[in-house]
Copies of this chain bind each other. A is one copy, B any other.
Amino acid sequence: MRKALGDSNKMKENTRQRLIDATYEEVYSHGYQGAALADILANAGVHKGSMYHFFANKKEMALAAINEKIAERFGTRYLAIAKGDRDYLANFFEGLRDLNQRDFRRGCPVANIVQEMSNIDEDFNTAMKEIYAKFRQSVKIIFDKAVSVGELRSCDTAKLALFTTSTLEGAILSAKASGNSQDYLDCVECLISYIESYKHG
């Protein structure tokens, strides 16, 4: 029966998805090395043997979680702006200023894993390099669009995107270090005024 098959697949996907979600949360909160498999399983409500049916080991599961959850996140957040047909900069700035999109206690999921794992494990290094490059690329696309509609003057948007993403990551870090989200906002305003210096031309 089609319906029964569908349910079966849904259950399977459900278990796998619960593992992915719980792994992402645990890694985001405690880092990869600090993530306890037992806690992930408890939070997902999945038994150990079941987990090893879906993933070869902790590392593979974590990499899957990172790729799927972060790709999902960035896919919606930044690409949506580039999909529009104007107000690229304004929409981008609005997103930067929106504190609801940020969790300063835990910081940026990407930055956390880059800092912890890039120099420790080659597979993590590769994965994070890709994700971070995609982040920069999607910001560059926003700037390119902004140039194309005259919101920015023609400039090296790749470098501008690099500077923007770097500063953004630094701003989140500062707020995490100080425990003060105002630090993030102050940085963002400086960043925006820098970007706006490319407006007229």
Beta-carbon contact of A106 and B132 below 8 Å: no
A174 interface neighbour in B105, B116, B169, B177, Cβ under 8 Å: B169
List B contacts of A177 (CB < 8 A): 110, 114, 118, 128-129, 132
A34 interface neighbour in B120, B160, B165, Cβ under 8 Å: B120
**What class of interface size applies to chain A in its complex with B?**
35 or more
A132 interface neighbour in B33, B159, B162, B174, Cβ under 8 Å: B174
State the majority secondary structure of interface residues on A: helix
Copies of this polypeptide in the complex: 2
Which residues of A148-201 have CB atoms within 8 Å of chain B's CB atoms? 159-160, 162-163, 165-171, 173-174, 176-179, 183, 186-187, 190-191, 194, 197
- Other than the known A163-B167, A166-B183, what 16 A-B pairs have Cβ atoms closer than 8 Å? A30-B120, A31-B31, A31-B120, A105-B119, A107-B118, A114-B173, A115-B115, A115-B173, A160-B190, A162-B174, A163-B186, A163-B190, A166-B171, A167-B187, A170-B171, A190-B194
